[in-house]
Amino acid sequence: MDIDGACQCGQVMYVAKVQAQDVTICHCNDCQRLTGAAYRVTVTALRDNFRLTSGHPTLYVKTAANGRRRMQYFCSNCGSPIYTTGELEDANQVGIRLGTITQRQDLRPRAQFWCSSELSWAQDIRSLPRYSGD
């Protein structure tokens, strides 16, 4: 599936080819802090199938709980997390943040990781009042 996306302000843009089933949720503490949310949703692409089309994201390197270094790329203007990659065996994959993808409605998560760090209410929000806008 061909996708495209951008940060909130549009300064950093990209195109990629992904498999629709390669969408995951991560509940780890690092992902909660890096996204400012209850969990992070990522679509994985091979590095050769990901290309920036405009802008230059800023890099933040985070050493994860498992000891692996993760390169976190974000927009220096609006702060949107855009993608991540790693070193060694992790260098061939790019984890694209779902919220930046134009076609995000077509990409449904297929697995969850680090569920031991999941917030107790994260899977139980259907009963909350719903509004179509604010």
Q: Which structural domains are found in the chain, ordered by start? A: 2-117 (2.170.150.70)
- Whether pTM exceeds 0.85: yes
pLDDT at 94 over 80: yes
pLDDT of residue 123: 86
pLDDT digits (tens, 9 = 90+) for 69-86: 999 999 999 999 999 999
- Residue range 39-63: mean pLDDT, rounded: 96
Give me the sheet containing 111-113, strands edge to edge: 58-63, 69-74, 81-86, 93-97, 40-46, 23-26, 111-113
pLDDT of residue 127: 85
User: What are the E-state strand segments in 2-129?
Assistant: 2-6, 13-17, 23-26, 40-46, 50-54, 58-63, 69-74, 81-86, 93-97, 111-113
Q: Residues 6 or more apart from 38 whose CB is under 8 A from it?
A: 27, 32, 118, 119, 121, 122
| Alpha-carbon span 104 to 102, nearest angstrom | 6
